[in-house]
Chains A and B, each alone.
Chain A
Amino acid sequence: MDTFNLLLQGFSTALTPMNLMFACLGVLLGTAVGVLPGIGPAMAIALLLPLTYNLEPTSALIMFAGIYYGGMYGGSTTSILLNTPGESSTVITAIEGHKMAKAGRAAQALATAAIGSFVAGTIGTALLAAFAPLVVKFAVSLGPSSYLAIMVLGLLTVTAVLGASKLRGFASVGLGLAIGLVGMDPVTGQQRLVFGIPLLSDGLDIVVVAVAIFAVGEAFWIAAHLRRSKMSTIPVGQPWMGKQDWKRSWKPWLRGTALGFPFGAMPAGGAEVPTFLSYSVEKKLTKHPEEFGHGAIEGVAGPEAANNASAAGTLTPLLALGLPTNATAGVMLAALIQFGIQPGPLLFQNEPILVWGLIASLFIGNTLLLLINLPMAPLWARLLRIPRPYLYAGILFFATLGAYAVNLQAFDLVILLVLGALGFAMRRFGLPILPLIIGLILGPRIENQLRKAFQLSAGDISGLWSEPLAVGVYAVVALILAWPLVALAWRRFRPGEEAVQVPASLERDPHQSRL
């Protein structure tokens, strides 16, 4: 089999001592940032981007993927022991997981989360290896008009489907697109939004913007609302599971994986929806309904698996189409661009060593994560004791260092402060961060495809819907835009029916949690 051979080649890339070291480094860092409050995988990768300029792209991306997967493992540890979900996708884990921990079953909760993550991550990565080449095979035949449509859909779903307030999502995406305009117009060479400042004429470095919005904005925001009271962590021993726990966990793991992967692969899927779905499925199917709400192991096993499978799913459109669907994928796309690698379906053709090395490293990273998380969970939990002044001073310190190291000019630090203030204001007033980042990254690419489409059709506007896929995607776009009206009409006609009961903590906007 072709895919299988490519994957084997990938393993030979990933298993070189150098890349193996970066995979280890990635999963260790990832677990750490997952456990640490205030810092998530997207921020960690943004902070590391400037440091990886001189690295081999394959090694750097292997490390980033390790951070991505590791963040999921670390995140579940915090939500179980502390009941404050670090990532938005572990909100559900916190519900049952923390109850289990309180009832003295922290070890089992951590074990089912870690093993479930491993199972789901491995199956998810296998699905990625199987499906991504199929998507590519289909996608290479697409022209710019279809890409344009797909990217518009990606941008729109991130903006309008996720998040509590669509209006604030659109405001955020507008700001991101505007920031993306700064610099030289690629076709005519004219300067846009440069205001005569020569340092702006090359555009704003995505790294600087990402670090500003994720790291500086977040550090200032937390500083303004720093929790003064100590949070109590539940002490934990070695994670382990009894026979009964295995029996109750394996089906939720598989069901969670089945839900997580496709949602992660969809333009607006993300990890929040499948974890929630998995939770409600397990609640319905369980033989111990009385335990739900008091620490049911199924309620940890399913959502954790869904969470990790969706991470693998997210990588499918990222690698096969160049379409990021969450913050971490967005920053990874920025990394590709930084290395001068053109994202898109040709990535598999042009960079087979990188792509397959990366996929193989995911299998390795996942195994490493299981090994470092099962026996060492108590050790990781100790990270939570780090003095907060050091943690947040450190984030600011490294943000400054990273942004400065890009061009060695103090002007970038001014940009960092200004955009950091923007990031602060967005958190304060509930503007989601994700649309800004995705808008910033996709904006220039959308413009590029738009103009390419017109060039191919010699200026004829019908070139925009010359491909059937483009028409189909625009139909979906129209549906999403019209959805509020449809929903309104629905509610009018069925006033008595209430929405499905959602646990209180679910009603938070999924993007309000740290990214």
Chain B
Amino acid sequence: MTQQATAAGKPAAGTGRSELGIAALLGVAGAVVLWDASRLVVPYSVSDPVGPKTLPIIIGSLLLVTAVMLAVNVLRGGRGQAEEGEDVDLSHPSDWKTVLPLAGAFVLNILLIGVAGWVVSGTLLFWGSVWALGGRNYVRDGVVSVTMALLTFYGFYFGLDIKLPAGILAGIL
């Protein structure tokens, strides 16, 4: 079990100081929230002394403070515990060879869904994701993908009255 390793707060995946990136993200988010708040106009109002600005300022400050504290924490050797799960094996580092094609399939769907329609883009999304995750049974994977896309298309159309884009197959479906 990997639990002994993580109990000390130092997970197998999570070495190095890449967590500083999270601190940077928090800092940027805080700065953006504060900057955005600064351009809000506060109309004088007796009944609404809180105004639209108060909460953004609190939240932006909270983000900045956590950014600084997290940076200090990481520099002192603190590490966040990577999440575990049933299918998660933290003994190897993040496998970008799986994640990037997966993200690629996702982006492809965003680009195609309007033009080519859900049946085409959804099939590619499912098939591409299965491929990225290691499925190599091309015929079976393809059949499952097309079936899923078609079933959801018609299921949404008839069952939920939601018309997903038909795209290039507009006349056929």
Interface residues, chain A, CB within 8 Å of chain B? 37-38, 51, 53-54, 78, 82, 84-86, 164-165, 167-168, 170-171, 173-175, 177-178, 181, 185, 187-188, 190, 192-193, 195, 216, 218-229, 231, 387-390, 392-394, 396-397, 400-401, 404-405, 408, 410, 413-414, 417, 425, 427-431, 443, 446-447, 450-451, 454-455, 458-459, 461, 504-505, 507-509, 512-514
| 8 Å CB interface, B118-167 against A | 118, 122, 125-126, 129-135, 141, 144, 148, 152, 156, 160-165
Take A220-B102, A507-B7 as given contacts and tell me if A174 and B26 are in contact as well, using a CB distance cutoff of 8 Å.
yes
Q: Report 18 cross-chain contacts, Cβ distance below 8 Å, ordered by A residue.
A: A165-B81, A167-B70, A170-B62, A170-B66, A174-B30, A175-B63, A178-B63, A218-B85, A221-B85, A222-B88, A225-B92, A226-B87, A390-B130, A427-B83, A459-B48, A505-B1, A508-B7, A513-B83
Q: Which residue in A178, A408, A417 is a CB contact (below 8 Å) of B103?
A: A417
| 8 Å CB interface, B1-40 against A | 1, 3-4, 6-7, 9, 11, 13-14, 18-19, 21-22, 25-26, 29-30, 32-33, 36-37, 40
| A454 to B48 alpha-carbon distance, docked (Å) | 6
By the criterion CB–CB under 8 Å, are B3 and A222 in contact? Answer: no
CB-defined contacts of A185 to chain B, threshold 8 Å: 40, 52
Take A54-B160, A171-B70 as given contacts and tell me if A225 and B133 are in contact as well, using a CB distance cutoff of 8 Å.
no
By the criterion CB–CB under 8 Å, are A192 and B40 in contact? Answer: yes
Q: Which residue in B1, B11, B48, B62 is a CB contact (below 8 Å) of A174?
A: B62
Write the chain A residue with the least CB distance to B114. A410
| A394 to B151 alpha-carbon distance, docked (Å) | 13
Knowing that A221-B88, A224-B98 touch, tell me 6 more A-B residue pairs with CB under 8 angstroms. Answer: A185-B40, A222-B88, A223-B102, A389-B131, A408-B162, A447-B55
By the criterion CB–CB under 8 Å, are A227 and B126 in contact? Answer: no
Write the chain A residue with the least CB distance to B43. A188
Q: Which residue in B19, B59, B69, B96 is a CB contact (below 8 Å) of A178?
A: B59
| A173 to B133 alpha-carbon distance, docked (Å) | 32
Smallest CB separation, B29 vs chain A (Å): 6
Take A221-B88, A224-B96, A224-B98 as given contacts and tell me if A429 and B19 are in contact as well, using a CB distance cutoff of 8 Å.
yes
CB-defined contacts of A450 to chain B, threshold 8 Å: 50, 54-55
CB-defined contacts of A417 to chain B, threshold 8 Å: 103, 106-107, 110
B interface residue count range (under 10 / 10 to 19 / 20 to 34 / 35 or more)? 35 or more
* Count, A-B residue pairs, CB within 8 A: 264
By the criterion CB–CB under 8 Å, are A396 and B80 in contact? Answer: no
Smallest CB separation, B165 vs chain A (Å): 8
Smallest CB separation, A21 vs chain B (Å): 14
The 8 closest A-B pairs by CB, nearest first: A430-B80, A37-B86, A393-B129, A389-B135, A389-B133, A185-B52, A227-B89, A427-B83
| A84 to B84 alpha-carbon distance, docked (Å) | 10
CB-defined contacts of A38 to chain B, threshold 8 Å: 85-87
By the criterion CB–CB under 8 Å, are A392 and B30 in contact? Answer: no
By the criterion CB–CB under 8 Å, are A227 and B33 in contact? Answer: no
By the criterion CB–CB under 8 Å, are B126 and A394 in contact? Answer: yes
Write the chain A residue with the least CB distance to B26. A171
By the criterion CB–CB under 8 Å, are A392 and B129 in contact? Answer: yes
Take A394-B126, A458-B47 as given contacts and tell me if A508 and B84 are in contact as well, using a CB distance cutoff of 8 Å.
yes
Take A192-B40, A396-B129 as given contacts and tell me if A78 and B86 are in contact as well, using a CB distance cutoff of 8 Å.
yes
Q: Which residue in B46, B60, B98, B118 is a CB contact (below 8 Å) of A459?
A: B46
| A175 to B114 alpha-carbon distance, docked (Å) | 31
Write the chain A residue with the least CB distance to B155. A51
By the criterion CB–CB under 8 Å, are B160 and A51 in contact? Answer: yes
Write the chain A residue with the least CB distance to B80. A430
Q: Which residue in B29, B50, B134 is a CB contact (below 8 Å) of A454?
A: B50
By the criterion CB–CB under 8 Å, are B59 and A174 in contact? Answer: yes
By the criterion CB–CB under 8 Å, are B148 and A504 in contact? Answer: no
By the criterion CB–CB under 8 Å, are B22 and A222 in contact? Answer: no
Write the chain B residue with the least CB distance to A512. B83
By the criterion CB–CB under 8 Å, are B48 and A451 in contact? Answer: yes
| A511 to B120 alpha-carbon distance, docked (Å) | 38
